[in-house]
Amino acid sequence: MRVAFAGSAGFSVPSLRALAESEHEVVRVLTVPDGMGARGHAAPRPVRDLALELGLPVAQPPRLTASLVLELELDRAELLIVCAYGQLLPDGVLAAFGRGAWGVHPSLLPRHRGASPIPSAILAGDETTGVTIYQMDLRMDAGPILMQAAIPVPPRATSPKLSDELALVAAELLLETLRQAEEGSLSPRPQDDLVASYCAKMSRSDSVTSWDMPAEKIDRLVRALQPWPGAAAELGGRQLKLLAGEATAAADGSAPPGTVIGTVGESVEVATGAGAYLLHLVQPPSSRAMTPAAFLRGQRQSGQDLP
């Protein structure tokens, strides 16, 4: 099958590689324009880099225009595969391909439609997640389901690790869906809109964490919001990024939330609204990651009044 591929994030890379190494022909790769990342460095462009490595035609339009849709029609691709692309598709795109467009979504639709399904699964405490290949229509992540694959969410899953695992599942599932499409054995089924849930794109405001929250919720925030926007809370009089830790039973249930109630090596135990959070790694603003014990020692040396 002749296919066009649209993707931008690292999640897209295994699927693009699997397509390029299969019997299918990737006639064009669409990805976002080059941009600047942190501290003035060029932002990673994993899909562009892989396309160039594989010798595939690549385009990086700021948006999909009518002229580009015409070019896609001239490519004679039968199908557009959209995998973590990050751009809206204009109406004409879906009609430019004989088989339309397939979305590759890292959740078990209709659960977690939207821009942040992987952190949302961790935040919700889901025990199972997966990947859905669906026929795209004009609604967000709402078209008929073609195939799904489910996996358990590991107890200590972080968004980057879960994304890496789901990316491999997506690549395998995509090839299987293509195989069944060519055989004519796919059985699309509509999504149940009544049980659908939605997740918005994460923003910096999502990073604010309060020690008044239960320890289990703080733990999910820390794991889900990696690498961006990151969970942040006050410790030793400063707002810090919480990089790693785990929920525990509070040794002193009467301590006010935010109180350091114990240490375990270089980790510190902080009272929360329910239980305690054993903090392993933090990052002060404009500084490197460090253990919370090292951070508190530095605060004391600078004359800060600490509990």
Is residue 307 reached through a cis peptide bond, with omega within 30 degrees of 0 on the bond before it?
Answer: no
Of 97, 68, 64, 103, the residue nearest 82 (C-alpha) = 103
Last residue of some domain: 199, 229, 250? Answer: 199
We report the CATH number of the domain holding residue 29 as 3.40.50.170
Asked if pLDDT for residue 244 goes beyond 50, the answer is yes
What are the C-alpha distances in Å from 226 to residues 65, 163, 220? 34, 11, 10
Q: Are residues 189 and 234 in the same domain?
A: no
Q: Are residues 275 and 140 in the same domain?
A: no
| 3-state secondary structure (DSSP) of residue 252 | coil
We report the CATH number of the domain holding residue 224 as 3.10.25.10
Residue ranges of the alpha helices (H) in the chain?
13-20, 46-54, 66-74, 91-95, 117-123, 159-183, 215-224, 292-301
Contacts of 281-285 with C-beta under 8 Å, sequence gap 24+, read: 281/243, 281/244, 281/245, 282/235, 282/240, 282/241, 282/242, 282/243, 283/240, 283/241, 283/243, 284/238, 284/240, 284/241, 285/238, 285/239, 285/240
**β-strands 2-7, 25-30 pairing:** parallel
| 3-state secondary structure (DSSP) of residue 234 | strand
Find tokens 């999504």 and name the residue: 191
Asked if pLDDT for residue 73 goes beyond 60, the answer is yes
Q: Are residues 80 and 191 in the same domain?
A: yes
Q: Are residues 179 and 230 in the same domain?
A: no
- Report yes or no on 307 lying in a domain: no
Tokens of 100: 């339309």
| 3-state secondary structure (DSSP) of residue 42 | strand
Tokens of 276: 């305690």
Q: Are residues 177 and 217 in the same domain?
A: no
> Distance (Å, rounded) from C-alpha 64 to C-alpha 253?
56
| 3-state secondary structure (DSSP) of residue 34 | coil
- Report yes or no on 172 lying in a domain: yes
> Distance (Å, rounded) from C-alpha 91 to C-alpha 113?
20
Count how many domains the chain has.
2
Q: Are residues 138 and 160 in the same domain?
A: yes
Asked if pLDDT for residue 75 goes beyond 60, the answer is yes
- Report yes or no on 259 lying in a domain: yes
> Distance (Å, rounded) from C-alpha 93 to C-alpha 69?
6
- Report yes or no on 40 lying in a domain: yes
Find tokens 């375990």 and name the residue: 264
pLDDT in tens, 116-159: 999 999 999 999 999 999 999 989 999 999 999 999 999 999 99
- Report yes or no on 256 lying in a domain: yes
Last residue of some domain: 137, 171, 199? Answer: 199
Q: Are residues 136 and 220 in the same domain?
A: no
Q: Are residues 192 and 161 in the same domain?
A: yes
pLDDT in tens, 265-291: 999 999 999 999 999 999 999 899 999
Last residue of some domain: 199, 225, 253? Answer: 199
The beta-strand segments (E) located in 8-162 are 25-30, 58-59, 79-83, 101-105, 113-114, 128-135, 145-152
Domain of 82?
2-199
- Report yes or no on 20 lying in a domain: yes
Q: Are residues 37 and 134 in the same domain?
A: yes
Residue type at 251 in one-letter notation: A
| 3-state secondary structure (DSSP) of residue 243 | strand
Q: Are residues 250 and 114 in the same domain?
A: no
Q: Which residues pair with 282 in a beta bridge?
A: 242, 290
Tokens of 267: 């980790």
Q: Are residues 193 and 223 in the same domain?
A: no
Tokens of 290: 């460090």
Picking from 33-42, 124-133, 177-186, 187-196, which range would have the lowest pLDDT averaged per residue?
33-42
| 3-state secondary structure (DSSP) of residue 263 | strand
> Distance (Å, rounded) from C-alpha 278 to C-alpha 102?
43
Q: Are residues 88 and 236 in the same domain?
A: no
Tokens of 20: 């390029």
Asked if pLDDT for residue 111 goes beyond 70, the answer is yes
- Report yes or no on 216 lying in a domain: yes
Considering the chain, what is the average pLDDT of its residues?
Answer: 92
- Report yes or no on 306 lying in a domain: no
Q: Which residues pair with 283 in a beta bridge?
A: 241
Buried b or exposed e, range 124-147, using 16+ CB within 10 angstroms: bebeebbbbbbbbeeeebbbebbb
pLDDT in tens, 83-100: 999 888 887 788 889 999
Find tokens 């699997």 and name the residue: 18
